[in-house]
A and B are shown apart, each in its own frame.
Chain A
Amino acid sequence: MSSLVHQFSHEDLLRNRDDIAAGKLWQFPGGIHPPQRKELANKTAIRRLPPPPRLLIPFKQHIGQPGTVLVQEGDHVLKGQPLTAPGPNSGLPVHAPTSGRIKRIGEHPSAHPSALPVSTIELLSDGEDEWTEKHPIADYTALSSSELIALIAEAGIAGLGGAAFPTAQKLAADGQLDYLIINGVECEPYIVSDDRLMREHAAGIVRGIRILQHISGVKNVLIAIEDNKPEAIRAMQDACSGTESLAVRIVPTRYPSGGERQLIQLLTGREVPANGLPKDVGLLMQNVGTAYAVYRAIILGEPLLERVITLTGEALQQPGTVWAMLGTPVDTLLKQAGYVPYPNARVIMGGPMMGFTLPTLDVPIVKGSNCILAPAKRELPASTTEMACIRCGACADVCPASLLPQQLYWLARDHDHDGLREHHLADCIECGACAYVCPSEIPLVHYYRQAKADMREQYIEKQKAEIAKERFEARKARLEREKQERLERHERAAEARKRALAEREAKAAETAPASGTETTGEPSKPANDRVAAAIARAKAKKAEQQKAAQATENPEGQANAKPEAQTESSNSAEALKASPDDVSQTAPGSDPENDKKARIAAAVARAKAKKAAQQGSD
């Protein structure tokens, strides 16, 4: 609540709370009054359709990380069975909306303006709609907040107002809260999903609100509904009667009063800071649909499998609202509503202000969808004639975030990211009010979206470059270090060699007199040394005899060898003694193969003799 303290002095805060309690309404800047067109779809009750034959369930239907898939192609799944395990950082699972067989797990166009493919599970319904085991909680008050939050996450509930932010994550954020605001404003033209839900399921919504109240520990709840929904207001007032902590607030119809920040300003006069969250000003906001989903998850034990979708527009013969299973393809829903296609027809996901034209109809309903709008040819003509900005400033008058849309437009066209940041592009909620009033029909919001995407991309690239640089430098440092280490090792080895050589020389100098006397009769040699040398000699001789048995010996070689051996100079007496037999084999005329073998044997013997001698001298 630090921002709250910053915004208000203590007395002001108390007065502010009194004002809120008294039902005072504030104003948010800007806003527009587009034709409502809600009567198209809000006349009939929410229809329940049979399970569609084919469901397309994307892994990720919320803001955050996708989960890992738990099923395999060909598996039979039951209604309500989790299909993915929740991903990291408060990721949410998705569930099988009906029973059936997993046909395919792979890429499929997404319910996104780009329709780029995303990982999707294709489920073929078996028509049985058979439930897996449900775990209803009879008395939720017996559970702690964290247990309930875990259950809500397990049920896969994301904000059903449209942003699809994980509800559990929103609830888990700590902070002292003044009010829980339940958003039933539904300010966008055409959309009547929340309207119908409040009319028909007010009691369930209120029970959901009580659970949310229990979890967040907030005493007071404000339920905001626009004054163009009298039936919903009445239904909610009836459901809330007798519960003092719940108050229904009727807000004037003005777009975009249903925006989180706008509604907060409208109901409490508080302003959420630019990079902050509602909890920074002591508030928590949930959509009515989310409250109802929480009720179903906790009290009925049903995960989030379906949501209310408004099917509207004059190209539909039976517009209305339906309970659509998550994953129902848009064309299946349109067929149910009697869609009459025409050349160059557009189908919009979402409302006329914030929705987007679907590039293909084979995309699924996801947790964040709320409306499918199929306008007739003349109903919502696409603007084609973008003209120059005349700096009339009409957009600045209607901007609910008090930004300067025309300035942002120029900066976006100029790719001036610093300028865009200075003009707080990040605070733009993309409500489309500026584009609605623009006399030059400039698609302003698209410029902002592109600029935002560009800035995000650049930010990501910058991060990546930073990491790459770090890794490159770490590698360079490592190679340098390894080189240094290698050099040091070589130096050490060279030194060791030098030392060993010096030692050996010293020893040779010591034994030099001994070798000198050896020829005369080796009196100074220690006894065991001589024994070792003798053994070695014997061994060498034996090896040679073996060789001799294999091949004929050249007697001449023997004869020649002796003088050679005598002339051979060696500073080791032992080697000298072992050598005669060895050298004899090198004599010319001997069989080359035997020669080689004998040489090896002799070398081995010599080495052994040397070793023995060394041991002896040690």
Chain B
Amino acid sequence: MSMVAGIIALAVLALAFGLLLGFAAVRFRVEKDPIVEQIDSLLPQTQCGQCGYPGCRPYAEAIANGDDINKCPPGGQSTIEQLADLMGREAKPLDDAHGVEDVKKVAYIREDECIGCTKCIQACPVDAILGATKQMHTVIADECTGCDLCVEPCPVDCIDMIELQQGPERWKWDLEQIPVTQLATEVKS
């Protein structure tokens, strides 16, 4: 008798907890894997595809599924370190197979040579090229991520990747590059 009672009690408990878990699974369901969002927010969003995935988000998903974290040249070492931090993995040097870390660049269309084929417009992942069929195209420099994807499709090779001009406002006080001497710590009179 007591065994039956025990079985019934356990069954009731199991049912109750099962219902509770089932309810929680529906009520507090996480829409997506939030880790993907976190990884995605660390990636530079150039959408260049150098990692071998069609954009930053697919790569973020791939990392979440166990892909290497060292395939993003635009992000460079700092991004790898941040990703390593987030994923709790070892920070590796950038994988050369996917390109090397480069200075920031923007695309520039030599407008005299542009024939207005719109091929680059279709290639641009962030819609940073302006133009229409048989009209000259131009790059909105502020929106360009420097992903390089517009250079290949251009049939007349009129797109250059030029180094981003750096003004004094964004200068990084690079002590190594420009000899800035520390000013007096002691005035001798």
Question: Chain A: residues with CB nearer than 8 A to chain B?
Answer: 34-35, 37, 110, 112-116, 118, 189, 346, 348, 352-353, 355-357, 359, 375, 378-383, 432, 435-436, 438, 441, 443, 446, 449-450, 453-454, 456-457, 460-461, 464-469, 471-472, 474-475
Knowing A466-B45, A472-B55 touch, does A346 contact B181 (C-beta < 8 A)? yes
Interface of B is mostly: loop
- For A382, the chain B residues whose CB sits under 8 A away are 181-184
Are B47's CB and A438's CB within 8 A? no
Knowing A114-B178, A353-B183, A438-B185 touch, does A468 contact B168 (C-beta < 8 A)? no
Are B55's CB and A116's CB within 8 A? no
- For B186, the chain A residues whose CB sits under 8 A away are 381, 436
- For A356, the chain B residues whose CB sits under 8 A away are 180, 183
The verdict on B30 contacting chain A, using a C-beta distance below 8 Å, is: no
Q: How far is the CA of A412 from the CA of B172 in the complex (A)?
A: 13
The verdict on B167 contacting chain A, using a C-beta distance below 8 Å, is: yes
Q: How far is the CA of A257 from the CA of B45 in the complex (A)?
A: 46
Nearest chain B residue, comparing its CB with the CB of A107: B165
> Which of B43, B167, B185 meets A441, CB within 8 Å?
B185
Are B171's CB and A453's CB within 8 A? yes
- For A438, the chain B residues whose CB sits under 8 A away are 185
Knowing A468-B46, A475-B126 touch, does A453 contact B172 (C-beta < 8 A)? yes
The verdict on B128 contacting chain A, using a C-beta distance below 8 Å, is: yes
- For A381, the chain B residues whose CB sits under 8 A away are 184, 186, 188
Are A467's CB and B143's CB within 8 A? yes
The verdict on B179 contacting chain A, using a C-beta distance below 8 Å, is: yes
Are B168's CB and A116's CB within 8 A? yes
Q: How far is the CA of A443 from the CA of B47 in the complex (A)?
A: 40
Are B170's CB and A453's CB within 8 A? yes
Are B168's CB and A435's CB within 8 A? no
Q: How far is the CA of A118 from the CA of B128 in the complex (A)?
A: 26
- For A474, the chain B residues whose CB sits under 8 A away are 127
Nearest chain B CB to A1 CB, angstrom units: 32
Are A352's CB and B183's CB within 8 A? yes
Are B127's CB and A475's CB within 8 A? yes
- For A464, the chain B residues whose CB sits under 8 A away are 45, 145
Nearest chain A residue, comparing its CB with the CB of B184: A380
15 contacts between A and B (CB under 8 A): A37-B187, A113-B173, A114-B171, A348-B183, A353-B183, A353-B184, A381-B184, A383-B184, A436-B185, A441-B185, A450-B174, A450-B175, A468-B47, A471-B143, A474-B127
Are A112's CB and B168's CB within 8 A? yes
Nearest chain B residue, comparing its CB with the CB of A346: B181
- For B167, the chain A residues whose CB sits under 8 A away are 116, 118
Are B181's CB and A461's CB within 8 A? no
Nearest chain B residue, comparing its CB with the CB of A444: B182
Are A472's CB and B45's CB within 8 A? yes
Q: How far is the CA of A467 from the CA of B183 in the complex (A)?
A: 40
- For A189, the chain B residues whose CB sits under 8 A away are 187
Nearest chain B residue, comparing its CB with the CB of A189: B187
Are B168's CB and A471's CB within 8 A? no
Nearest chain A CB to B140 CB, angstrom units: 10
Which of B125, B166, B181: most chain A Cβ within 10 A?
A: B181
> Which of B127, B183, B187 meets A471, CB within 8 Å?
B127
Are A475's CB and B125's CB within 8 A? yes
Q: How far is the CA of A187 from the CA of B170 in the complex (A)?
A: 29
Q: How far is the CA of A471 from the CA of B56 in the complex (A)?
A: 13
- For A112, the chain B residues whose CB sits under 8 A away are 168, 171
List the 3 closest A-B pairs by CB distance, nearest first: A443-B182, A380-B184, A465-B45
Nearest chain A residue, comparing its CB with the CB of B44: A465
> Which of B47, B168, B180 meets A118, CB within 8 Å?
B168
The verdict on B189 contacting chain A, using a C-beta distance below 8 Å, is: yes
Using an 8 Å CB-CB cutoff, how does the interface string of B10-38 with A read, 1 for contact, 0 for none? 00000000000000000000000000000
Nearest chain B residue, comparing its CB with the CB of A454: B172
> Which of A110, A446, A461 meets B180, CB within 8 Å?
A446
- For A468, the chain B residues whose CB sits under 8 A away are 44-47, 126, 143, 145
Q: A112-B168, A118-B168 are in contact. List 5 more A-B contacts (CB 8 A).
A: A353-B183, A382-B181, A457-B172, A471-B143, A474-B127
Nearest chain A residue, comparing its CB with the CB of B124: A475
User: B96-132: which have CB < 8 Å to A?
Assistant: 125-128
Q: How far is the CA of A115 from the CA of B175 in the complex (A)?
A: 13
- For B180, the chain A residues whose CB sits under 8 A away are 113, 356-357, 446
- For B185, the chain A residues whose CB sits under 8 A away are 383, 435-436, 438, 441
Knowing A457-B170, A461-B44 touch, does A115 contact B187 (C-beta < 8 A)? no
Are B184's CB and A456's CB within 8 A? no
Q: How far is the CA of A457 from the CA of B78 in the complex (A)?
A: 13
> Which of B56, B171, B173 meets A469, CB within 8 Å?
B56
Which of B46, B127, B186: most chain A Cβ within 10 A?
A: B186
Knowing A113-B180, A346-B181 touch, does A446 contact B168 (C-beta < 8 A)? no
- For A353, the chain B residues whose CB sits under 8 A away are 183-184
Q: How far is the CA of A337 from the CA of B68 in the complex (A)?
A: 63
Nearest chain A CB to B73 CB, angstrom units: 15
- For A110, the chain B residues whose CB sits under 8 A away are 168
Which of A450, A460, A464: most chain B Cβ within 10 A?
A: A464
- For A359, the chain B residues whose CB sits under 8 A away are 178-179
Nearest chain A CB to B123 CB, angstrom units: 11
- For B166, the chain A residues whose CB sits under 8 A away are 116
Q: How far is the CA of A344 from the CA of B99 in the complex (A)?
A: 42
Are A472's CB and B126's CB within 8 A? yes
User: B33-67: which have CB < 8 Å to A?
Assistant: 40, 43-47, 55-56
Nearest chain B CB to A156 CB, angstrom units: 20
- For B55, the chain A residues whose CB sits under 8 A away are 472
Knowing A383-B182, A446-B180 touch, does A472 contact B47 (C-beta < 8 A)? yes
Q: How far is the CA of A353 from the CA of B185 in the complex (A)?
A: 8
> Which of A348, A380, A472 meets B125, CB within 8 Å?
A472
Q: How far is the CA of A446 from the CA of B127 in the complex (A)?
A: 39
Q: How far is the CA of A34 from the CA of B160 in the complex (A)?
A: 54
Nearest chain B CB to A33 CB, angstrom units: 11
> Which of B143, B182, B187 meets A446, CB within 8 Å?
B182
- For A35, the chain B residues whose CB sits under 8 A away are 187, 189
- For B178, the chain A residues whose CB sits under 8 A away are 113-115, 359
> Which of A378, A380, A469 meets B45, CB within 8 Å?
A469
Nearest chain A CB to B165 CB, angstrom units: 9
User: B151-169: which have CB < 8 Å to A?
Assistant: 166-168
Q: How far is the CA of A594 from the CA of B22 in the complex (A)?
A: 83
Q: How far is the CA of A118 from the CA of B43 in the complex (A)?
A: 32
Q: How far is the CA of A357 from the CA of B182 in the complex (A)?
A: 8
Are B173's CB and A450's CB within 8 A? yes
Nearest chain B CB to A300 CB, angstrom units: 32
Nearest chain A CB to B145 CB, angstrom units: 5
- For A355, the chain B residues whose CB sits under 8 A away are 183
Q: How far is the CA of A380 from the CA of B43 in the complex (A)?
A: 46
- For B126, the chain A residues whose CB sits under 8 A away are 468, 471-472, 475
- For A454, the chain B residues whose CB sits under 8 A away are 172
Q: How far is the CA of A346 from the CA of B183 in the complex (A)?
A: 10
- For B187, the chain A residues whose CB sits under 8 A away are 34-35, 37, 189, 352, 379-380
